[in-house]
Amino acid sequence: MDFNDLMPLLSFWIGQIGDLGLDLLWRFIHIVVSLWHIVSGIFEAILSNAISLGLIQKYSAIDIEKLRCLAVVVDIEVARDVSKVIDLLQWLKTIGVKQVGLFDSQGLLKKSKDMILEMVPGSMLLQETGEKDISPDRKGIIDIEFISSSDNKEAVVKAANILLEKHLKSNNHPEKDEEGDNVFTESHLNEALRVVGENVRVPDLMLVYGPVRSHLGFPAWRLRYTEIVHMGSLKYMRYGSLLKAIHKFTGVRQNYGV
């Protein structure tokens, strides 16, 4: 066998060894990542149980007044398990949360709102319009708003039309400050929504219970400064993990730009 016949065979074996090496490298990385997820899951479960039992004292002190409004997003597949949602709301009430927006994309929880309000002592329905007193002295009361993907769409369209009309009118008055007239701020949007009868409630924190890291269709116009935390499946929710997420949010200093 001469050198010209040997080269294709050598090239073939080098390619085979390279493919085998890449396959082994991929399998090794997959094993490492899987082990990391398993170990982190075990650690999170142990930490959650320790928090639930009160063994870690720092999580017992929460400045709950920093959390004015909490949004809870539930995946549509587990939204039918109302008992889990009721347990979650009771935990939130125990922690001291005053206002909760409960969301699933198809509004299944909204259909069960009477049962949920009955099964959670001290819960009240947060009306779709009008201001409501959520002062800290309302101890033992949790206000619940039921939200779906179809809610508020007409109100947002009407508010956008109001802002558009104001913008068009401002263009007919060149003597006014052009920059100020062409900039829409949060206060402009809030005022437009109030005009159409929609009370604005923007959650400070959103807890997502679902299989993916997504807001699962929660109205995006209500997520202006909201911090989103993925909590995993509602089926495996833990009180300690809930307490940890709220404690972490309330313990962070928040600065809003001007």
DSSP 145-172: EEE-TTTTHHHHHHHHHHHHHHHHHHHT
Amino acid at 27: R
Residue 3: what pLDDT?
56
Tokens of 175: 């003597």
Q: Is the pLDDT of residue 41 over 80?
A: no
Average pLDDT over residues 86-106: 90
- Identify how many contiguous H helices and E strands the chain contains and give both numbers: 8, 6
- Summarize pLDDT for 53-86 with one digit per residue, the tens: 777 778 777 888 888 899 999 988 777 788 899 9
Q: Is the pLDDT of residue 104 over 80?
A: yes
**What pLDDT band is residue 197 in, cutting at 50, 70 and 90?**
low
67 Cβ partners below 8 Å, 6+ apart? 97, 204, 205, 246, 249, 250
CA–CA separation, 146 and 171 (whole Å): 40
Residue 131: what pLDDT?
47
Listed ranges 34-38, 162-166, 170-174; the one with the highest mean pLDDT: 34-38
Using CB atoms within 10 Å of the CB of residue 1, give its burial: 0 to 12 exposed, 13 to 18 middle, 19+ buried.
exposed
Average pLDDT over residues 231-241: 88
Contact 143, 99 (CB under 8 A): yes
SS3 for 55?
coil
